Structure 1
C-alpha cells in the first residue's frame, strides 16, 4: 500500500494514520484520513464534493455536512498553512507538494513526485514567511533535558514589579522597572517580548490585578495570552542595598532566584542578560540609557482608567503628561489612540505631527512603529489612501527589522483592510492569513481569534457562506479553549445574524 508524505507528515493509506517527522502519531478519524488521501492523490486538482462522498462515504447515506466537518478537522491539523483551498461550487484542492512511495519497497527506488500546479507567487511567499518564522531548527548534538533549557518560542510577558521599598522615591517601580526590563530584552525570530501597555491589557483579560499579583493568577495569564514565558519580579531591601527576586514561569516549570546590587538599573541589566540567553540570544547586551515613559506614575493611573473604559477621565491625565513632557511617547500614542477612537481627527493629527519627529530623534523604534500604525489609520479615515499605505509600509519595515511580531500582524491587518476597500478581496484574504501567522508566532490566542473573525467578514463580502462558517468555527474553538469571553460573545452575535 502507498504512503504519502506532505508538510513533514507521513500518511499511511492502509493504517489510516498520520505521523509527524518526529514520530508522533496524530489523532485523526478514519473517514477524515480517507478524505485527506483522496485530496493527496489528486494534489493540485479540484476534487468535487460528489467525488468525496462517493469515495469516502460510499457505504452510507450522508449529506455534505460530513465533508465540512472533515475539512475543518484537517485545517486544524495543518493549522498555520493554507493547505486546503475551497473553490465555491466546485470542490477542494490540496495545495502543498506531495511525495508518494510504496511502503513495501525501498524508498529510494519507488519515490515519485505527484504532478502539481504552481502556487501563486504571493501565496507561496506567505506560506514561507508563516512557516519559517514559527519554526525552530533542531540541533541533534544537544538535546535539552529540562524545559528551562529550551529556548523560548512564543510571547514573553514581564509582569509589573512588586515594590517592597517604602517611600515616594520608589513609587515608579511597579510599571517603571517592568518597562525598563521589557526595553532591555531582545525580540528574536522565535520569541516576541510584549510591550508594557499590551501586558496590562492581557492582565485585564485574565482577570488579574495590576498590583499584588501572585502565583494563583499565572495559569489564567498563560491561558489568555499564549505566552511561553512569564517573568515576575519583586524589589526589596533599601536604597543602595537592593535585592531583586524573580520567578520565571514556563508552562510546566518555574525557576526562582535573587540578585543583589546597590544600583537598581544594574539589577535590571543582570536579569535581562540572563533572560536573553533563554530567548536564544547568546550575544552580550549592549549598554543603553533608559528612558522609560512609565517612571511617570500618572501614566500608570491613566492606563488603568483606559482599561476600565474611563476615557474621559484618562484623557486630561494624558494631556497633562504630554504638556509637561512631550518626549513621553507612550502618553502621546495613547492620546492619539483615544482621539481616533472618538473621531477627533484634528487632535489626533496634531499629536501625530508632534510625536513622530520626536520618535525619530530619540531613535525609539518601538514607539515609531506604533505611531506609523495610527498615522495610517488617521490618513485612511481622512481619505488619504496613498499616504496611508505608505505609512503602513514604513511601519512594517521597522517592525520587521525589530522582530516586532505583534505590530507586523496589526500593520498587515491594516493593509488587508485597505485591500478590502479597493475590492481586492483575494489580496485581503492573503494578508489576513499572513497576519494570523504573525499572531501564531507569538502564540497569541486573541490575535488569532480576531484574524479568523476578520476572515469571516471577508468571506461574507466574497459571498462564500461555507468559508465564513469555517472561519467563525475556528475563531469559536480558540476562544472557547482560551476562555476569551468577550470574543465568544462577538462570535455568537455574528453567528446569530446568519440564521
Structure 2
C-alpha cells in the first residue's frame, strides 16, 4: 500500500518519489526536493517551518537554509511558477492548492520483477555464469586498443528517484577506477559529456544508433554502454563494449550497485589487458550528487549564470566535492569573475592535496594557471603549468598534457616566441593523437594557422587551416567546420 497525492494536475508518489503529469510523463525532480514537496502536501494549508523541513529532509546532513530555497525554487518551476507555495517571512511555507490523497496497492511481482526473473533463469541455464549474451567476454581486441576509452552515462530503468545518482554517479565511479595507459586514455566524465554534446546525443536517452556518432566525434576505440534494471536488492547491470568493428555484451547481477561496479571494472580491465590494482568495494564519486547533473546540463546549454547558482549551493552543502568545486571555478572564469575564482581556488586546491586526488588537482592547477593568465600574471602561470604538467605526465593524463601544452604555446605567442609556440602546438597535437581526438587535433591546427597568420606566413597559414578543415570535414565535426569558416578560411 502506498500513498499518492494529486494536485494541480500532477500525481506525486510518496514511496517512489516520482512526479507524473496528467499526460503520464514523469517529471524530473531531485529526491530531496520531492521529499520537501511531499511534506508540504501532507501539511497542505498549514505553515511548515524551515527547521521542520531541515529536520525532516536533511536530518543527517549539515546544511544551511539555502538548500530549502533551491528546492522551493525547483518546485515552483515544476508548477510553472503558479502561486502554489506562499512564503511567510520568519515563519515558513504554506502549500496553497487543493490536495487529494489516495492509497494504491502495489504488486510485489510486477513486470520489472518478472523480466528480471526470466533473465535470471536464462543466465542460470548457462552454467550459473552471469553472462547473458555470451559465455565470456571477447577480449581478443584489447591488444589493439590505442586511443581513448569512453564510458557512457548509465541508463537507469529503476522506477523512482532513489537511483537518480546512477546516470552520472555510476559512470564516474567506473571512470575513476580505470587506469590511464601509455597507449590509451580514459576520458573523464565532464569531457565525455562534452563529446556527447558535440555529437548531438541526448544525455538522458542514449540509444544504440548513437554509437556511430560518438565514435565519429570522439575518436574512441572502445565505448562502454550500461543499463541498470531490476528491483532494489535484485539489480542487474547489462553492458555492451562497442569496438569499431565488433561488440561484446553481457549482464551482471548483484544485490548491491557497488558490487556491480566492481564486477564491471574487472571485465573492462580484462578487455583492456590491464590488471585491476584497486581493492575498493566502494569508490567515492562526486558525480553521485544529483544536483550536479542538473548543473552540468545547464553548463552544456551555456547557461553559466544558472549553473553558478546551483554549483554554489553544492559547494556550500558539500565543500569536499572537488568536482563541484572545479566546475564552480571554471564557471566563474567563464563569467570573468576572477576575484571569486581566486578565492574558490584557495579553498579547493588544499582539499585536492589533502584528498590526494591527482586528477582533480591537475585540473584545478590548470584553471589556476588560466586565472593567472587572465589576471596578467604570466610568470606565476608558467610555474603552475609546469607543476600541473609534471603531475599529468606521471599519470598519463593525455588530455590535460595537451591542454597544459596549449597554455605554454599561448604564453610563448604572447611573448612573441613564435618558434617555441609552434613547437608546443605540435607537441600538444601529439598528445591529442594518442587519444585519437579529432576535435583536439583540428583545434590545434587552427591555432597553428592563427600563429602563422600573426607571422604573415601565408604558406603555413593555408596548410594549417586546410588540415584543420580536412579533419573536421572527414569526421563530420560540423561545429568545428563552421568555426573554421567563420575565421575566413573556406
Note the C-alpha offset of 1:246: 0.3
Instruction: Note if 1:445 corresponds to 2:412.
Output: no
User: Matches of 1:463 and 1:252 in 2, distance apart?
Assistant: 45
- How far residue 486 of structure 1 moved from its aligned partner, in angstroms, is 1.4
Determine which of 212, 217, 222 is the counterpart of 1:219. 212
* Structure-2 change in CA distance of 1:289 and 1:169 (3 Å): same
**Alpha-carbon contact 1:151-1:279 (below 8 Å) kept:** no
The answer on whether the counterparts of 2:217 and 2:439 sit within 8 Å (CA) in structure 1 is yes
> Are 1:190 and 2:183 an aligned pair?
yes
Q: CA deviation at 1:284?
A: 4.0
Deviations 1:233-259 (A, max 9, x none): 011122222111000001111100011
Residue 301 of structure 1 pairs with residue 294 of structure 2 = yes
Distance 2:158 2:337 in 1: 42
1:59-458 to 2 correspondences below 5 Å: 148-282=141-275, 284-287=277-280, 289-458=282-451
For 2:400 and 2:279, the matched residues in 1 are separated by 24
Does the CA contact (< 8 Å) of 1:159 and 1:233 recur in 2?
Answer: yes
Separation (CA, whole Å) in 2 of partners of 1:234 and 1:282: 25
Residue 282 of structure 1 and its aligned partner are, at CA, apart by 3.1
- Is the CA contact (8 Å cut-off) linking 2:258 and 2:281 kept in structure 1? no
TM-score normalised by length of structure 2: 0.70
Aligned counterpart, 1:478: 471
* Greater mean deviation of Cα atoms: 281-290 or 386-395: 281-290
Query: CA–CA distance in 1 between the matches of 2:278 and 2:184?
Result: 17
Contact 2:445 2:464 in 1 (8 A): yes
CA contact under 8 A between 2:155 and 2:204: conserved in structure 1? yes
Contact 1:225 1:445 in 2 (8 A): yes
1:169 is paired with a residue whose SS is: coil
Distance in 1, matches of 2:487 and 2:307, equals 32
CA distance in 1, matches of 2:177, 2:166: 16
CA distance 1:321–1:375, change in 2 (3 Å): same
Q: Secondary structure at the match of 2:241?
A: strand
Q: Deviations 1:365-422 (Å, cap 9, x if unpaired)?
A: 1111110100001111212222111111111111111111000000000011111111
Deviation at 1:303, TM superposition (A): 0.5
Given that residues 258 and 282 in structure 2 are in contact (C-alpha distance below 8 angstroms), is that contact kept between their aligned partners in structure 1? no
Q: Kindly indicate whether residue 453 of structure 2 is the aligned counterpart of residue 460 of structure 1.
A: yes
CA contact (8 A) 2:307 2:331 kept: no
Whether the aligned pair in 2 keeps the contact of 1:399 and 1:407 (CA below 8 Å) is yes
Unaligned runs of 5+ in 2: 1-137
CA contact (8 A) 1:410 1:435 kept: yes
Q: Contact 2:322–2:360 (CA<8 Å) still a contact in 1?
A: yes
Higher deviation after alignment, 159-168 or 352-361: 159-168
Higher mean Cα deviation, 276-285 or 487-496?
276-285
- Residues of 1 paired with 2:248 and 2:470: CA distance? 32
Shift of 1:159: 0.6
2:486 and 2:175 map into 1 onto residues whose CA distance is: 37
1:470 is displaced (CA, Å) by 0.3
Tell me how far apart the structure 2 counterparts of residues 174 and 256 of structure 1 sit (CA, whole Å). Answer: 19
Deviations 1:67-111 (A, max 9, x none): xxxxxxxxxxxxxxxxxxxxxxxxxxxxxxxxxxxxxxxxxxxxx
Point out where structure 1 has 5 or more consecutive residues left out of the alignment: 1-144
What secondary structure does 1:150 align onto? Answer: helix
- Aligned-partner Cα distance in 1 for 2:178–2:452: 39
> RMSD of aligned C-alpha atoms?
1.5
Distance, in Å, in 2 between the alignment partners of 1:176 and 1:149 is: 26
Query: Would you say the 8 A contact 2:147–2:434 is kept in 1?
Result: yes
SS at 1:170's partner residue?
coil
- Residues 100-142 of structure 1: CA deviation (Å, up to 9, x unaligned): xxxxxxxxxxxxxxxxxxxxxxxxxxxxxxxxxxxxxxxxxxx
Whole-angstrom distance in 2 between the partners of 1:291 and 1:310: 28
In structure 2, relative to structure 1, the CA distance for the partners of 1:267 and 1:450 (3 Å cut) is same
Alpha-carbon separation, structure 2, partners of 1:149 and 1:380: 41
Q: Distance in 2 between matches of 1:232 and 1:283?
A: 20
For the residues of structure 2 that align with 1:283 and 1:177, how far apart are their CA atoms?
A: 18
Helix, strand or coil for the counterpart of 2:162? helix
Aligned-residue offset at 1:495: 3.0
Q: How many residues align?
A: 353
How far residue 273 of structure 1 moved from its aligned partner, in angstroms, is: 1.6
TM-score normalized by the length of structure 1:
0.69
Q: Distance in 2 between matches of 1:491 and 1:169?
A: 45
